[in-house]
Amino acid sequence: MAWFAKYFPNVITLGWGGEDGWLTAIGQTIYMTFWSALFGGILGLIFGVGLVLFDKGGIKENRLWFNIFDKVVSFFRAIPFIILLAFIAPVTQKIVGTQIGTTAALVPLSLGMFPFYARQIQVALESVDHGKIEAAQSVGATFSDLIFSVYLQEARSEIARVTTVTLISLIGLTAMAGAIGAGGLGNTAIAYGYNRFDNDVTLVATFLVLIFVLIVQLVGDFLAKRLSHKSA
């Protein structure tokens, strides 16, 4: 502890509690990651499934709906996240009543995550053997059966992998959102580290973000292997 206090004095000064403490920053990062992953994940899953179902050769081929889904995903994916934060600020204001803060960040984080996740889900579902889909249709599988028992079931291992990649990307977005006042470890690294030239704070905040990424990667790899057909 004496060594840590000597080389990381500003880290200790921030403390664990209070509005600026490390526990608060860690909690805000987890809060933003969990809820934006939930909302953005649901939206991304819907659009990803829709892109596969409505595409040419899909079980519900519809060029109009495919083009709508495709253009919406491409539009949001093309906007850099830092610009998206400002672009949808009025929408954020309408939804949560403010444009700044941890809760306000959930709106742009969800919209920033979902197009990336939708494309990942699209690729994962397109890898499903079409012969299995035709076999399920031949025995009278319903539309919901095809989605849940064939597409999502057969691609479950790949979905676990792409979800892991998306969550890691999302953690990076929370740090970026934090850098402009949304709270979390990104805010700590910039406001209390970089802006004050307290490099020890920036270093520890970065290390904690890396720990989050490592945990997500390990859990994701475990689930992907557990859900794969080889281990089934």
pLDDT tens, position by position, 170-208: 999 998 887 667 889 988 988 888 888 889 999 999 999
Domain span at residue 16 reads 2-227
Mean pLDDT of 138-159: 90
| Mean pLDDT of the chain, nearest integer | 90
Mean pLDDT of 1-24: 83
Tell me the per-residue pLDDT of 56-69, one tens digit each, with 9 for 90 and over: 888 899 999 999 99
Residues 6+ apart with CB under 8 A from 160: 220, 223, 224, 227
In a domain, 126, yes or no: yes
In a domain, 232, yes or no: no
Q: What is the CATH number of the domain that holds 161?
A: 1.10.3720.10
Q: What local confidence, expressed as pLDDT, does residue 229 receive?
A: 57
Q: Which among 161, 174, 36 has a CA at the least distance from the CA of 96?
A: 36
In a domain, 55, yes or no: yes
User: What is the tally of structural domains in the chain?
Assistant: 1
Q: Are 160 and 224 spatial neighbours (Cβ–Cβ below 8 Å)?
A: yes
- pLDDT-based confidence at 231, cuts 50/70/90? very low
In a domain, 53, yes or no: yes
- C-alpha to C-alpha distances, 169 to 21, 34, 55, 100, 218, nearest whole angstrom: 25, 13, 27, 21, 15
In a domain, 196, yes or no: yes
Mean pLDDT of 81-103: 87
In a domain, 77, yes or no: yes
